[in-house]
Structure 1
Amino acid sequence: MADLYLKNLESERRQLWATCRLKGLAKDTPERQRIAALDEAIAAHKDKAMDAG
């Protein structure tokens, strides 16, 4: 079964990363901070999935 939560997190991260690349945004912008938060959420979710299965 597809993990929709993980797919949504990764999709949002890809969209934000594309925006940051196009605009050349610095590391301290809210978009880049959100990417960092998404990276943490993705890693935590993958760790939880590995522990469960």
Structure 2
Amino acid sequence: MADLYIKALESERKSLWATCRLKGLGRNTPERQRIAALDELIVAHKSRPAGEGKKNAAGEPEKKG
């Protein structure tokens, strides 16, 4: 099954990067800072074990049922 979370992060990063390239934005713009944050989220998500369960916004395992 496709990991929709990672696909969404990568899609947002790609879109922001294209905007930065098109507009010639510098390093300290909010868009470039968001790209850096997305890079960290992508690395963290890819490095976690595959068997680890989903977590909610508070970082706690989701409850089923």
> TM-score interval w.r.t. the shorter chain?
over 0.9
TM-score normalised by L of structure 1:
0.92
* Matched residue, 1:33: 33
What stretches of structure 1 of length at least 5 have no aligned partner? Answer: none
> Structure 2 length as normaliser, TM-score?
0.76
Any runs of at least 4 consecutive aligned residues in structure 1 with deviations exceeding 2 A, and if so which?
Answer: none
Structure with higher RCO (Cα < 8 A, 6+ apart): 1
**Aligned-pair Cα RMSD in Å:** 0.8
* Aligned residues with identical type, % of pairs: 76
Q: Relative to total residues, which structure has the larger helix share, 1 or 2?
A: 1
CA deviation digits over 1:11-32, x for unaligned, max 9? 0000000000000000000000
